[in-house]
Structure 1
Protein backbone atom coordinates (compact mmCIF):
# COMPACT_ATOMS: atom_id res chain seq x y z
CA UNK A 1 0.00 0.00 0.00
CA UNK A 2 1.27 3.47 -0.92
CA UNK A 3 1.41 6.09 1.84
CA UNK A 4 0.51 9.66 0.90
CA UNK A 5 1.31 12.86 2.77
CA UNK A 6 -2.23 14.17 2.18
CA UNK A 7 -5.59 12.47 1.84
CA UNK A 8 -7.47 12.23 -1.42
CA UNK A 9 -8.76 15.45 -2.89
CA UNK A 10 -7.51 18.38 -4.91
CA UNK A 11 -3.79 19.08 -4.61
CA UNK A 12 -3.66 22.42 -6.40
CA UNK A 13 -5.37 24.77 -8.83
CA UNK A 14 -3.50 26.64 -11.54
CA UNK A 15 -4.91 30.02 -12.54
CA UNK A 16 -3.93 31.29 -15.98
CA UNK A 17 -4.01 35.06 -15.81
CA UNK A 18 -3.54 37.87 -18.30
CA UNK A 19 -1.49 40.06 -15.94
CA UNK A 20 0.49 38.29 -13.23
CA UNK A 21 1.39 41.36 -11.18
CA UNK A 22 -2.19 42.67 -11.15
CA UNK A 23 -3.49 39.25 -10.09
CA UNK A 24 -0.87 38.86 -7.36
CA UNK A 25 -1.69 42.33 -6.00
CA UNK A 26 -5.38 41.34 -5.78
CA UNK A 27 -4.88 37.89 -4.23
CA UNK A 28 -2.14 39.02 -1.82
CA UNK A 29 -4.83 41.18 -0.18
CA UNK A 30 -7.77 38.74 -0.46
CA UNK A 31 -6.10 35.54 0.72
CA UNK A 32 -4.90 36.69 4.18
CA UNK A 33 -8.50 37.79 4.93
CA UNK A 34 -9.74 34.23 4.41
CA UNK A 35 -6.90 32.29 6.03
CA UNK A 36 -4.66 31.55 3.03
CA UNK A 37 -0.93 32.30 3.15
CA UNK A 38 1.85 32.87 0.64
CA UNK A 39 3.99 29.84 -0.29
CA UNK A 40 6.05 31.50 -3.01
CA UNK A 41 5.79 34.74 -4.95
CA UNK A 42 3.16 33.12 -7.20
CA UNK A 43 1.45 30.53 -4.98
CA UNK A 44 -0.76 30.41 -1.90
CA UNK A 45 -2.07 27.68 0.41
CA UNK A 46 -4.66 27.09 3.11
CA UNK A 47 -2.63 24.20 4.51
CA UNK A 48 -4.23 21.45 2.43
CA UNK A 49 -4.60 22.98 -1.05
CA UNK A 50 -2.49 25.21 -3.24
CA UNK A 51 -3.39 27.82 -5.84
CA UNK A 52 -0.73 29.17 -8.14
CA UNK A 53 -0.75 31.76 -10.86
CA UNK A 54 0.84 31.74 -14.29
CA UNK A 55 0.74 34.56 -16.82
CA UNK A 56 -0.37 33.27 -20.21
CA UNK A 57 -0.91 35.29 -23.38
CA UNK A 58 -4.66 35.60 -23.97
CA UNK A 59 -4.56 34.06 -27.44
CA UNK A 60 -2.23 31.18 -26.52
CA UNK A 61 -4.99 28.85 -25.41
CA UNK A 62 -8.77 29.00 -25.42
CA UNK A 63 -10.31 26.70 -22.86
CA UNK A 64 -13.35 26.50 -20.65
CA UNK A 65 -12.90 26.13 -16.93
CA UNK A 66 -14.89 26.04 -13.74
CA UNK A 67 -17.70 28.57 -13.36
CA UNK A 68 -16.48 29.75 -10.00
CA UNK A 69 -14.42 28.83 -6.96
CA UNK A 70 -15.93 29.13 -3.50
CA UNK A 71 -13.62 29.71 -0.53
CA UNK A 72 -14.92 28.66 2.89
CA UNK A 73 -15.14 31.44 5.48
CA UNK A 74 -14.95 30.64 9.18
CA UNK A 75 -17.34 33.45 10.16
CA UNK A 76 -19.89 35.87 8.73
CA UNK A 77 -17.47 38.62 9.74
CA UNK A 78 -14.88 37.14 7.36
CA UNK A 79 -17.40 37.43 4.51
CA UNK A 80 -18.19 41.02 5.54
CA UNK A 81 -14.47 41.88 5.66
CA UNK A 82 -14.05 40.65 2.08
CA UNK A 83 -17.16 42.60 1.01
CA UNK A 84 -15.88 45.80 2.63
CA UNK A 85 -12.47 45.36 1.00
CA UNK A 86 -14.09 44.82 -2.41
CA UNK A 87 -16.09 48.02 -1.95
CA UNK A 88 -12.92 49.93 -0.98
CA UNK A 89 -11.07 48.79 -4.10
CA UNK A 90 -14.21 49.20 -6.26
CA UNK A 91 -14.16 45.48 -6.96
CA UNK A 92 -16.60 43.77 -9.27
CA UNK A 93 -19.17 42.47 -6.75
CA UNK A 94 -21.82 40.17 -8.21
CA UNK A 95 -23.88 39.77 -5.03
CA UNK A 96 -23.56 40.21 -1.30
CA UNK A 97 -22.50 40.05 1.28
CA UNK A 98 -25.92 38.56 1.90
CA UNK A 99 -27.68 35.53 3.34
CA UNK A 100 -28.77 32.81 0.91
CA UNK A 101 -31.39 30.80 2.85
CA UNK A 102 -32.32 28.93 -0.32
CA UNK A 103 -28.96 27.11 0.03
CA UNK A 104 -28.96 26.55 3.80
CA UNK A 105 -30.41 28.47 6.73
CA UNK A 106 -27.05 30.00 7.72
CA UNK A 107 -25.44 30.37 4.26
CA UNK A 108 -23.88 33.84 3.94
CA UNK A 109 -21.90 34.85 0.88
CA UNK A 110 -20.21 37.42 -1.31
CA UNK A 111 -19.60 36.68 -5.00
CA UNK A 112 -17.23 38.74 -7.14
CA UNK A 113 -14.81 38.76 -10.07
CA UNK A 114 -11.04 38.96 -9.82
CA UNK A 115 -9.03 41.17 -12.23
CA UNK A 116 -9.17 38.41 -14.89
CA UNK A 117 -12.94 38.00 -14.69
CA UNK A 118 -12.78 34.73 -12.69
CA UNK A 119 -15.88 34.38 -10.53
CA UNK A 120 -15.02 33.84 -6.87
CA UNK A 121 -17.17 33.34 -3.79
CA UNK A 122 -16.40 33.56 -0.08
CA UNK A 123 -19.13 31.83 1.91
CA UNK A 124 -19.89 31.05 5.51
CA UNK A 125 -21.99 27.89 5.71
CA UNK A 126 -21.65 26.22 9.11
CA UNK A 127 -24.78 24.11 8.56
CA UNK A 128 -23.77 22.77 5.13
CA UNK A 129 -22.96 19.10 4.89
CA UNK A 130 -20.46 17.84 2.35
Structure 2
Protein backbone atom coordinates (compact mmCIF):
# COMPACT_ATOMS: atom_id res chain seq x y z
CA UNK A 1 0.00 0.00 0.00
CA UNK A 2 1.42 3.38 -1.03
CA UNK A 3 0.58 6.36 1.11
CA UNK A 4 1.25 9.96 0.16
CA UNK A 5 2.28 12.36 2.92
CA UNK A 6 2.15 16.12 2.59
CA UNK A 7 5.58 16.70 4.16
CA UNK A 8 7.43 13.48 3.35
CA UNK A 9 9.75 11.65 5.70
CA UNK A 10 11.38 13.81 8.34
CA UNK A 11 10.89 15.48 11.69
CA UNK A 12 7.37 16.70 12.41
CA UNK A 13 8.18 18.87 15.41
CA UNK A 14 10.65 19.57 18.18
CA UNK A 15 9.46 20.48 21.66
CA UNK A 16 11.79 22.72 23.67
CA UNK A 17 11.42 22.65 27.44
CA UNK A 18 12.50 26.03 28.75
CA UNK A 19 12.97 27.59 32.17
CA UNK A 20 11.43 30.97 31.23
CA UNK A 21 8.85 30.92 28.43
CA UNK A 22 8.65 34.69 27.96
CA UNK A 23 12.44 35.09 27.74
CA UNK A 24 12.62 32.26 25.20
CA UNK A 25 9.78 33.70 23.12
CA UNK A 26 11.50 37.13 23.03
CA UNK A 27 14.72 35.46 21.81
CA UNK A 28 13.16 33.18 19.18
CA UNK A 29 10.67 35.77 17.91
CA UNK A 30 13.72 37.79 16.81
CA UNK A 31 15.92 34.89 15.61
CA UNK A 32 13.37 32.97 13.55
CA UNK A 33 12.38 35.74 11.11
CA UNK A 34 16.10 36.20 10.33
CA UNK A 35 16.35 32.58 9.14
CA UNK A 36 12.99 32.32 7.36
CA UNK A 37 10.81 30.78 10.06
CA UNK A 38 7.38 32.20 10.93
CA UNK A 39 5.08 32.13 13.96
CA UNK A 40 2.29 29.56 13.95
CA UNK A 41 1.00 30.44 17.40
CA UNK A 42 2.34 32.45 20.31
CA UNK A 43 4.56 29.52 21.33
CA UNK A 44 5.28 27.73 18.04
CA UNK A 45 7.19 28.45 14.83
CA UNK A 46 7.57 26.76 11.46
CA UNK A 47 9.72 26.83 8.33
CA UNK A 48 6.89 25.27 6.34
CA UNK A 49 8.03 21.68 6.83
CA UNK A 50 8.91 21.46 10.55
CA UNK A 51 7.57 22.94 13.76
CA UNK A 52 9.35 23.97 16.95
CA UNK A 53 7.33 24.82 20.02
CA UNK A 54 8.19 25.92 23.52
CA UNK A 55 6.85 24.81 26.89
CA UNK A 56 7.88 26.15 30.29
CA UNK A 57 8.70 23.40 32.78
CA UNK A 58 9.86 23.48 36.40
CA UNK A 59 13.61 23.10 36.84
CA UNK A 60 14.64 20.46 37.59
CA UNK A 61 11.72 18.42 36.28
CA UNK A 62 13.67 15.20 35.86
CA UNK A 63 17.01 13.96 34.58
CA UNK A 64 16.65 13.60 30.82
CA UNK A 65 19.30 14.22 28.21
CA UNK A 66 18.61 16.27 25.12
CA UNK A 67 20.18 16.92 21.76
CA UNK A 68 23.71 18.40 21.54
CA UNK A 69 22.54 21.18 19.23
CA UNK A 70 20.11 22.02 16.44
CA UNK A 71 21.39 23.45 13.18
CA UNK A 72 19.06 25.60 11.09
CA UNK A 73 19.61 25.94 7.32
CA UNK A 74 20.45 29.46 6.18
CA UNK A 75 19.62 30.38 2.59
CA UNK A 76 22.79 32.47 2.22
CA UNK A 77 25.96 33.59 4.00
CA UNK A 78 24.22 36.95 4.48
CA UNK A 79 21.61 35.24 6.68
CA UNK A 80 24.39 33.79 8.86
CA UNK A 81 26.02 37.23 9.04
CA UNK A 82 22.66 38.82 9.96
CA UNK A 83 22.20 36.34 12.82
CA UNK A 84 25.76 37.02 13.99
CA UNK A 85 25.14 40.79 13.90
CA UNK A 86 21.84 40.40 15.78
CA UNK A 87 23.54 38.29 18.46
CA UNK A 88 26.38 40.79 18.79
CA UNK A 89 23.98 43.76 19.00
CA UNK A 90 21.79 42.07 21.62
CA UNK A 91 24.62 40.67 23.75
CA UNK A 92 23.95 37.12 22.61
CA UNK A 93 26.11 34.22 23.72
CA UNK A 94 28.14 33.43 20.56
CA UNK A 95 30.25 30.27 20.71
CA UNK A 96 31.93 30.73 17.31
CA UNK A 97 31.43 32.63 14.09
CA UNK A 98 30.15 33.78 11.86
CA UNK A 99 32.96 31.93 10.11
CA UNK A 100 33.75 29.37 7.43
CA UNK A 101 34.28 25.77 8.52
CA UNK A 102 36.32 24.23 5.67
CA UNK A 103 37.03 21.12 7.75
CA UNK A 104 33.35 20.20 7.18
CA UNK A 105 33.02 21.44 3.59
CA UNK A 106 34.44 24.31 1.53
CA UNK A 107 30.98 25.94 1.37
CA UNK A 108 30.16 25.62 5.10
CA UNK A 109 29.60 29.01 6.81
CA UNK A 110 28.22 29.08 10.34
CA UNK A 111 27.50 30.82 13.60
CA UNK A 112 27.04 28.80 16.80
CA UNK A 113 25.44 30.28 19.92
CA UNK A 114 23.38 29.59 23.03
CA UNK A 115 19.76 30.56 23.59
CA UNK A 116 18.61 31.96 26.97
CA UNK A 117 18.28 28.39 28.32
CA UNK A 118 21.81 27.40 27.35
CA UNK A 119 20.70 25.32 24.34
CA UNK A 120 23.35 25.26 21.62
CA UNK A 121 22.02 26.43 18.26
CA UNK A 122 23.71 26.79 14.89
CA UNK A 123 22.70 28.67 11.76
CA UNK A 124 24.70 27.48 8.76
CA UNK A 125 24.79 28.10 5.04
CA UNK A 126 25.83 24.78 3.47
CA UNK A 127 24.97 24.92 -0.25
CA UNK A 128 27.28 22.05 -1.24
CA UNK A 129 26.54 19.70 1.66
CA UNK A 130 24.80 16.54 0.59
CA UNK A 131 22.13 15.30 2.99
Q: Structure 1, residues 82-112: CA drift from partner, whole Å, max 9, x if none? A: 0000001111000000000000001000000
Q: What secondary structure sits across from 1:105 in the alignment?
A: coil
Q: CA offset at residue 6 of structure 1?
A: 2.0
- In the other structure, the counterpart of 1:122 is 123
- In the other structure, the counterpart of 1:64 is 65
**Structure 2: gaps of 5 or more residues:** none
Under a length normalisation based on structure 1, what TM-score does the superposition of the two structures give?
A: 0.97
- In the other structure, the counterpart of 2:95 is 94
Under a length normalisation based on structure 2, what TM-score does the superposition of the two structures give?
A: 0.97
Q: Structure 1, residues 44-78: CA drift from partner, whole Å, max 9, x if none? A: 00000000000000121221011000000000000
- In the other structure, the counterpart of 1:11 is 12
Q: CA offset at residue 5 of structure 1?
A: 2.6
- In the other structure, the counterpart of 1:104 is 105
Number of aligned residue pairs: give it.
130
- Structure 1 vs Structure 2 CA RMSD: 0.8
Matched, 1:113 2:120: no
**Structure 1: gaps of 5 or more residues:** none
Q: What secondary structure sits across from 1:106 in the alignment?
A: coil
Which runs of 4 or more aligned residues in structure 1 lie more than 4 Å from their structure 2 counterparts after TM superposition? none
- In the other structure, the counterpart of 1:53 is 54
